[in-house]
Structure 1
Amino acid sequence: MTGKTILILGGGVGGLATANELRRRLGQEHKIILVEKNKDHISASSSLWVMVGWRRPEDIKKDTSRLIEKGIELVNAEILKIDPENKVVKTGKGELNYDYLVISLGAALFPETIPGLVDAFGKNAYNLYDLDGVVRLRDTLTNFSGGDIVILICSLPYKCPAAPYETTLLVSDFFKKKNIRKNIKITIITPEVLPMPVAGPAVGNMMKELLERMGIEHNFEHKVESVNAEKNEITHNKGKANYDLLLVVPPHKAPKVVKESGLTDNDWIPVDKDNFKTKFENVYAIGDVAKIKIPGEWKPGVPLMLPKAGVFAHYHAKVVAENIANEISGKGERVGFTGEGACFIEIGRGMAGFGTGNFYAQPNPAVKIKRPSPVWHVSKVLFEKYWLSDVDSFLKKPLDAVLEKMMYGDYKKKASGEVKDAGG
């Protein structure tokens, strides 16, 4: 069999999982190349622990080379152009040809699309989706003694739908422990109708009630129009709001190089919801960069999209890797993604909730949140240790078995269609 080249763009959750799964399934005659511009992989789900001082920045980083299986070629380079018609990707270190392409480049941040926001980041505003911004925020919170804190969600969609709400709860808990919570007003401003709207009104109202019990104000269906850094003022569709500290979820879109590739539609790459194929042959898009319409609805005629979260990137990776490997070898069955999802929701006090369910369920997504407990917080800590442990660590295999069952239960199903040998 002629060896195939599988090129994976992006070393986040989806890219790492795809590369490792393919390497385990395919012989060494097949080349697996992972392109990632950053030397270090950052566990984004741990960044809020940095914000409240539970982690140092170095605790949530790992050299990407230590997270991949032997036999994977790692290219640390900027991606300059994706040409799916000619099956070539141009990088800062040269051109790479491929037989299969998996795009897992995540969501890029575009704060410049909100007038005044970039200027505000140099003053009293902080980017919650940037580790440097989170470190700046940690230092500021340590010395903050009172005033108005606003958590601002600029637009939809954004990565990890629970993250801004976790932020509000962790910040509230942080100041409660310092006995100065009464001096601080915390407000969340969002264009959403309810928290985590894809999960449905029951989950949204549960989170809303939790915010209220913690003394956190909420302004739903508020769309930011501009930020005035000099006045510490937000203008939105329903008026204005002032802040002393502004914690921001910036606008998210596909990276510029993806938008220039001809793959996108309205900022994201549309893919098949079961197998993540794009409109180009042998080109897949997974994780945050993908746009996935789900079957169910909460309101007739109002379509829903699969949320952007690391857990889904991991599921997608496993499905794509298995299908590519089976197609190349001519063995096994095609599989499809079932729509299962799960996530931890930190609330402070050493506790977390656990959301789980099927986002492909009909007539609407079937999602539930388990009651907050120290068990779920410890489970998230365990998951962090698992994810950041070296690929050949003694921790990897035993934790794999436990976490695979809890986080990645019934993520795949048999799919129609025969597997044909792709060999030469």
Structure 2
Amino acid sequence: MKKADIVVLGAGLGGISMVFDLKAELGKKHRIVLVNKTTHFQFTPSNPWVGVGWRKEGDITVELAPLMARHGIDFIQATASRLHPEDNRVEMEDGTSVGYDYLVIATGPELAFDEVEGLGPHGHTQSICTLDHSIKANDAFEAFCADPGPIVVGAAQGASCYGPAYEYAMILDKELRSRRIRDKVPMTFVTAEPYIGHLGLGGVGDTKGMLEHEMRQRSVRWITNAKVEKVAPGAMTVSELNDDGSEKTRHQLDFKYSMMLPAFRGIAAVRDIEGLVNPRGFIIVDKHQRNPKYPNIFGIGVAIAIAPLEKTPVPTGVPKTGYMIESMVLATAKNIKALLEGREPKDEATWNAFCLADFGDRGVAFLAQPQNPPRNVNWAAEGMWVHLAKVAFEKYFLRKVRKGITETYYENAIMKMLTMHKLK
């Protein structure tokens, strides 16, 4: 068997799991290369906590170079500038290239702040999409607390990951109450979803009722079917649409602090490659996570193309939760192994959705099997246990990553939860 070079592009939740799963499946027979633009892995689900100072950078990061060296995986810190699929190589911004026999694209998205005037950290709103953004959001929050006023939190049109927006709104509420200044802070939640708790999934269980209840309890008003027109210093213009797409109301929302999640798109290095990506730049994959035109390229996680569940007045994307990503990773590792052994891929990911949404003092958990209705499991629950479960899960996941252990983290957690709630 010829020794193959397998390159994994991106070291987020999907990429870090991918290299460990490949190592477990392939051993020392083949070269595994991890390429990432930063020196570290970060546990992205903790970003809302970073945004209010509940976590620091060192709490949720792992340095990649020593970790990969310990496990016989090559690590290259570089930013991809262009993929050349006909040549089987990835070109980097510094002019170097990395060749591959098989490529797994696990980059996550590019953040499309530019699609709304004034949106994002280079505009007038904060973000918790990356660690750097979350640190900046916390700095701005500390300054805000010295002179509080209105807050606007939410997700702009085209966003596809709504859980962190809900988390951050509720965590802000908890932190402001702890500082005894919540009474000075009117808060508005702005979302492209057609209703609270839609989540890009058509709702899961009674997420609509649960999340509306949480917002009422915390005095958070909301605007759904919301299209952010533009953001100026201290002011956001939002069009609230009717179900037929016509404008219902135009809101001028004043704020002293705002965090808005943007729409996602594929990274620039792969955009506009015919047959590889859809019009938004997301990787087209078949049921084996494999690109039909370039069969030695696989895609996992937020980087892949998944069609929206339904047409909504304001565009909403589809979330790719950790549970789903983990399933994609395992299937991809087994399918690459099959190809290297001269067999056809047969493993398929189970596209289920699972989320622990922490609200600082309680939270909401939901499980959709499969992701799109009708479902075999369509369940949501709330309580203090969700907050405790997410804290425990963060510590568990990071401990396993630091040891380089490949494991079905989310699957194990879900099975325990289903047993606990007698849903199995």
Q: State the 1:304 CA deviation.
A: 8.9
Residue 334 (structure 2) aligns with: 322
Matches within 5 A, 1:290-329: 290-293=304-307, 306-329=318-341
Residue 198 (structure 1) aligns with: 201
Mean Cα deviation higher: 192-201 or 314-323 = 192-201
Structure 1 residues 46 and 99 mapped into 2: Cα distance closer, same or farther (>3 Å)?
A: same
Residue 357 (structure 1) aligns with: 368
Residue 415 (structure 1) aligns with: none
Q: State the 1:185 CA deviation.
A: 0.7
Measured on the aligned residues, the alpha-carbon RMSD in Å equals 2.9
In structure 2, distance between residues paired with 1:128 and 1:148: 19
Residue 112 (structure 1) aligns with: 114
CA contact (8 A) 2:266 2:283 kept: no
In structure 2, distance between residues paired with 1:93 and 1:12: 24
Extract unaligned runs of 5+ from structure 2: 240-248, 417-424
Q: State the 1:9 CA deviation.
A: 0.8
Q: What do residues 350-375 of structure 1 show as CA deviations (whole Å, max 9, x unaligned)?
A: x233211213455368532122223x
TM-score, with normalisation over the residues of structure 2? 0.84
In structure 1, distance between residues paired with 2:163 and 2:80: 30
Mean Cα deviation higher: 7-16 or 190-199 = 190-199
Extract unaligned runs of 5+ from structure 1: 410-424
Q: What do residues 295-336 of structure 1 show as CA deviations (whole Å, max 9, x unaligned)?
A: xx5689x99964133333222111101111133235797221
Equivalent pairs: percent with the same residue? 23
* 2:398 counterpart of 1:388: yes
TM-score, with normalisation over the residues of structure 1? 0.84
Number of equivalences: 396
Aligned to 1:338, the other structure's residue is in SS state coil
* 2:129 counterpart of 1:129: yes
CA contact (8 A) 2:200 2:318 kept: no
In structure 1, distance between residues paired with 2:79 and 2:21: 24
Residue 177 (structure 1) aligns with: 178
In structure 2, distance between residues paired with 1:54 and 1:389: 19
In structure 1, distance between residues paired with 2:253 and 2:317: 30
Aligned to 2:86, the other structure's residue is in SS state coil
Matches within 5 A, 1:325-404: 325-330=337-342, 334-349=346-361, 351-360=362-371, 362-363=373-374, 366-374=377-385, 376-389=386-399, 391=401, 393=403, 400=407, 404=411
Which of 272, 275, 289 is residue 276 of structure 1 equivalent to? 289
Structure 1 residues 37 and 290 mapped into 2: Cα distance closer, same or farther (>3 Å)?
A: same
In structure 1, distance between residues paired with 2:393 and 2:342: 34
Q: State the 1:211 CA deviation.
A: 1.2
Aligned to 2:348, the other structure's residue is in SS state strand
CA contact (8 A) 2:15 2:106 kept: yes
Q: State the 1:139 CA deviation.
A: 3.5
Structure 1 residues 291 and 310 mapped into 2: Cα distance closer, same or farther (>3 Å)?
A: same
Matches within 5 A, 1:209-220: 209-220=213-224
Q: State the 1:249 CA deviation.
A: 1.1
Matches within 5 A, 1:57-96: 57-68=57-68, 70-91=71-92, 92=94, 94-96=96-98
Q: What do residues 100-132 of structure 1 show as CA deviations (whole Å, max 9, x unaligned)?
A: 1111110111222211235xx468632222333
